[in-house]
Amino acid sequence: MPNNPKSNEQKMRTMINAWETLAPTKSFGGMTLEQFKALAEPAFAARQRIADLESQMTAAINERDAADTAFSAKAQLVVNGVLADPSEGPDSSLYEAFGYTRKSERRSGLTRAKTKPGGVPGPSQ
């Protein structure tokens, strides 16, 4: 059998279906149809368990995302409260500890064009 879980499952189902349909009372390879089905059952059970776990994972991811969204909305209110607080504000250690850059540590954003030799402004880098 190919080493691909999907094709393995398809092969198992195809073989079981063909055996059930065309020769249900015969034995092959020293096994009855029921023994062959019993041999395949752990593989089917594992696949079902994986599908269940994937569904649980999807649900957990959705719960996490919803909780993150709710947190982010309230967190922004808290940050705005720190910014508006007269004893804290945009230059406070608390604001920085929240992961933001204090106002006094921000760069101005002003850039000047570099000049080439001879005083001719060149392209800004």
Phi first, then psi, for residue 82 (nearest 5°) are: -65, -45
Read off the pLDDT of each residue in 87-114 and give the average, rounded to a whole number: 88
Q: What is the mean pLDDT of residues 15-41?
A: 97
Q: pLDDT tens digits for 59-92?
A: 999 999 999 999 999 999 999 999 999 999 999 9
In whole angstroms, what is the distance from residue 123 CA to residue 26 CA? 85
Judge whether residue 99 has pLDDT over 60.
yes
What is the structure's pLDDT at 2? 54
Can you read off the two tokens belonging to residue 13? 């189902």
